[in-house]
Amino acid sequence: MRKQNKKPKTAMGWVFQEIFEAYPVLMPVTILCIIISAGISAIPSIFMERIFDVIETGLSQGADWSQLGGRILSYVMVLGGLYVFSLLIASFYQQALAIMGQGSLMAMRNRMFASMQRLPIRYFDTHKHGDIMSYYTNDIDLLRQLITQVVPNALMQGTILVCVFFIMLYYSIPLALIVVAGSVLMTIVAKKFGTTASRHFMANQKYMGAMEGYIQEMMNGQKVVKVFSHEKEALAGFVDISDKFYGESRSGNRYANMLMPLVANMGNIIYVIVAFAGGMFLISGMGNLSLSGSAFSIAIVVAFLQMTRQFSNNITQISSQLGFVVMAIAGAERIFTLISEEPERDEGTVELVNATEKDGVLQESPRRTGLWAWKQPGEAEGTATYEKLQGDVRFFDVSFGYVPEKTVLHDITLYAKPGQKVAFVGSTGAGKTTITNLINRFYDIQEGEIRYDGIDIAKIKKADLRRSLGMVLQDTNLFTGTIMDNIRYGNTAASDEECIAAAKMVGAHSFIAQLPNGYQTFLTGNGAMLSQGQRQLLSIARAAVADPPVMIMDEATSSIDTRTEEIVQKGMDALMQGRTVFVIAHRLSTVRNSDVIMVLEHGRIIERGNHEELIAQKGTYYKLYTGAFELD
Amino acid sequence: MIRIIRHSLREYKIPTIITMILVIFEGILECMIPFTIAQLISSVRLSDMDSIRNYGLVLVLLAIASLVCGAGSGMASADAVTGLSRNLRKDMFERIQSFSFENIDKFSTPSIVTRLTTDVMNVQQSFMMIIRMVMRAPVMIIFATVMSFRISRDISMMFLGMIPFVAVMLFIIVRLVMPVFRRAFRKYDNLNASVEENIEGIRVVKTYVHEDLEEEKFKKASHDMMANFTTAERILAWNAPLLQLCIYTVITAALYIGAQTIINSQGLTLNVGGISSIVVYGMQILMSLNILSMVFTMISMSMESAERIEEILDEEPTIKNPADPVLEVADGSIDFDHVSFAYGKDSAEVLEDIDLHIHEGETIGIVGGTGSSKTSLISLISRLYDVTGGSVKVGGRDVRDYDLDTLRREVAVVLQKNVLFSGTIKENLRWGDPDATDEELMEACRLARADEFISTFPDGYDTYIEQGGTNVSGGQKQRLCIARALLRKPKVLILDDSTSAVDTYTDACIRKAFRESLPKTTKLIIAQRISSVQDCDRIIVLDQGRINGIGNHEELLRSNTIYREVFESQQRKAVEENA
Phi/psi zone of residue A482: left (φ > 0), alpha (ψ -120 to 50 degrees), beta? beta
One domain, residues B292 and B388: no
The answer to whether residues B79 and A178 touch, using CB atoms and an 8 Å cutoff, is: no
Which of A276, A335, A522 should we substitute to test contact with B (largest number of B Cβ atoms within 10 Å)? A276
In a domain, A2, yes or no: no
Is this model's pTM higher than 0.90 or not? no
In a domain, A345, yes or no: no
More confident residue, B511 or B45: B511
One domain, residues B101 and B175: yes
One domain, residues A384 and A397: no
CATH code: domain of residue B535: 3.40.50.300
One domain, residues B295 and B351: no
Q: How far is the CA of A528 from the CAs of A196, A535, A587, B299, in angstroms?
A: 44, 9, 26, 33
The answer to whether residues B550 and B367 touch, using CB atoms and an 8 Å cutoff, is: no
Distance CA A579, CA A549 (A): 5
Q: What is the pLDDT of residue B574?
A: 67
Taking only the tens place, the pLDDT of each residue in B3-38 is: 889 889 999 999 999 999 999 999 899 888 878 877
Q: Do B71 and A63 touch (CB under 8 A)?
A: no
One domain, residues A50 and A104: yes
Q: Do B192 and A133 touch (CB under 8 A)?
A: yes
In a domain, B484, yes or no: no
Taking only the tens place, the pLDDT of each residue in A310-326 is: 888 888 888 878 888 88
More confident residue, A124 or B45: A124
In a domain, B426, yes or no: no
Q: What is the pLDDT of residue A521?
A: 93
Chain B nearest CA to A412, separation (Å): 23
Chain B nearest CA to A314, separation (Å): 15
In a domain, B329, yes or no: no
One domain, residues A270 and A369: no
One domain, residues A381 and A505: no
Exposure of A384 in the CB half-sphere (CA atoms within 13 A)? 17
Chain A nearest CA to B338, separation (Å): 25
One domain, residues A216 and A243: yes
Taking only the tens place, the pLDDT of each residue in B182-238 is: 898 888 888 888 888 898 888 888 888 888 989 999 999 999 999 999 999 999 889
Name the residue among B73, B202, B412 with its Cβ closest to that of A121.
B202
Chain B nearest CA to A358, separation (Å): 30
Distance CA A532, CA A561 (A): 10
- Cα–Cα nearest to B548, from B348, B334, B337, B352: B352
User: Which residue of chain A has the CA closest to B412?
Assistant: A227
One domain, residues A370 and A451: no
In a domain, A1, yes or no: no
Q: Which residues contact B237 (CB under 8 A, 6 or more apart)?
A: A94, A95, A97, A98
What's the ipTM?
A: 0.86
CATH code: domain of residue A293: 1.20.1560.10
The domain tally of chain B equals: 2
In a domain, A334, yes or no: yes
User: Which residue of chain B has the CA closest to A234?
Assistant: B97
Distance CA A385, CA A365 (A): 14
User: Which residue of chain A has the CA closest to B83?
Assistant: A246
One domain, residues B345 and B297: no
Which of the listed residues A332, A364, A388 is the one where a domain comes to its end? A388
Instruction: For residue B373, give the DSSP letter.
Output: -
E-only strand ranges, B277-373: 334-342, 349-358, 363-367
One domain, residues B115 and B203: yes
CATH code: domain of residue A514: 3.40.50.300
In a domain, B438, yes or no: no
The answer to whether residues B369 and B310 touch, using CB atoms and an 8 Å cutoff, is: no
One domain, residues B383 and B500: yes
In a domain, A5, yes or no: no
Taking only the tens place, the pLDDT of each residue in A92-145 is: 999 999 999 999 999 999 999 999 999 999 999 888 888 888 898 888 888 988
Q: What is the pLDDT of residue A1?
A: 39
Q: How far is the CA of A440 from the CAs of A437, A457, B571, in angstroms?
A: 6, 8, 39
One domain, residues B526 and B563: yes
Phi/psi zone of residue A494: left (φ > 0), alpha (ψ -120 to 50 degrees), beta? beta
Tell whether A231 lies on the interface with B, counting CB pairs under 8 A.
Answer: yes
Taking only the tens place, the pLDDT of each residue in B397-420 is: 999 999 999 999 999 999 887 888
Q: Which residues contact A530 (CB under 8 A, 6 or more apart)?
A: A478, A523, A538
Q: Do B199 and A258 touch (CB under 8 A)?
A: no
| Residues of chain B neighbouring A480 (CB-CB closer than 8 A) | 193-194, 197
- The residue segments making up the domain with residue A355 are 351-388
Collapse the DSSP code of A33 into the 3-class scheme (helix H, G, I; strand E, B; otherwise coil) and give the result.
helix
In a domain, B452, yes or no: no
CATH code: domain of residue B73: 1.20.1560.10
Name the residue among B53, B97, B206 with its Cβ closest to that of A235.
B97
One domain, residues A91 and A238: yes
Tell whether A469 lies on the interface with B, counting CB pairs under 8 A.
Answer: yes
One domain, residues B306 and B341: no
Cβ neighbours of B579 (radius 10 Å)? 6
In a domain, A207, yes or no: yes
The answer to whether residues B491 and B410 touch, using CB atoms and an 8 Å cutoff, is: yes
- Cα–Cα nearest to B198, from B221, B166, B229, B225: B221
Q: Do A480 and B193 touch (CB under 8 A)?
A: yes
In a domain, A494, yes or no: yes
User: Which residue of chain A has the CA closest to B55?
Assistant: A272
| Residue range B375-386: mean pLDDT, rounded | 92
One domain, residues B247 and B344: no
| Residues of chain A neighbouring B234 (CB-CB closer than 8 A) | 95, 98-99
Instruction: For residue B131, give the DSSP letter.
Output: I
| Residues of chain A neighbouring B71 (CB-CB closer than 8 A) | 258, 261-262
The answer, yes or no, to whether residue B430 has pLDDT greater than 50, is yes
In a domain, A153, yes or no: yes
User: Which residue of chain A has the CA closest to B410?
Assistant: A228
Chain A nearest CA to B206, separation (Å): 8
Which of the listed residues B286, B314, B342 is the one where a domain comes to its end? B314
Q: What is the pLDDT of residue A562?
A: 61
Q: What is the interface size between A and B, counted as CB pairs within 8 Å?
A: 413
Q: What is the pLDDT of residue B327?
A: 92
Q: What is the pLDDT of residue B576?
A: 61
In a domain, B102, yes or no: yes
Name the residue among A261, A467, A563 with its Cβ closest to that of B66.
A261
One domain, residues B300 and B378: no
The answer, yes or no, to whether residue B124 has pLDDT greater than 90, is yes
The answer to whether residues B481 and B417 touch, using CB atoms and an 8 Å cutoff, is: no
One domain, residues B543 and B511: yes
The answer, yes or no, to whether residue B45 has pLDDT greater than 80, is no
The answer to whether residues B485 and B432 touch, using CB atoms and an 8 Å cutoff, is: yes
- Cα–Cα nearest to A146, from A7, A1, A332: A332
Name the residue among A73, A110, A275 with its Cβ closest to that of B222.
A110
Q: What is the pLDDT of residue A557?
A: 55
The domain tally of chain A equals: 3
The answer to whether residues A497 and A455 touch, using CB atoms and an 8 Å cutoff, is: no
Q: Do B209 and A466 touch (CB under 8 A)?
A: yes
More confident residue, B47 or B215: B215
Distance from CA of residue A188 to its chain's centroid?
34
Lowest-confidence range among A88-102, A419-433, B135-149, B333-347?
Answer: A419-433
One domain, residues A74 and A147: yes
One domain, residues A220 and A92: yes
Distance from CA of residue A133 to its chain's centroid?
6
Distance CA A184, CA A62 (A): 43
Name the residue among A55, A231, A268 with its Cβ closest to that of B59.
A268
What stretches in chain A show pLDDT beneath 50?
A: 1-4, 559, 628, 632
User: Which residue of chain A has the CA closest to B102?
Assistant: A223
In a domain, B486, yes or no: no
Q: What is the pLDDT of residue B578?
A: 56
One domain, residues A69 and A93: yes
One domain, residues B273 and B344: no
| Residue range B326-351: mean pLDDT, rounded | 90
One domain, residues A248 and A276: yes
- The residue segments making up the domain with residue B364 are 334-417+491-578
Strand partners, A409: A400
One domain, residues A126 and A170: yes
In a domain, B287, yes or no: yes
Q: Do A268 and B62 touch (CB under 8 A)?
A: yes
Q: Do A109 and B204 touch (CB under 8 A)?
A: no
Collapse the DSSP code of B498 into the 3-class scheme (helix H, G, I; strand E, B; otherwise coil) and give the result.
coil
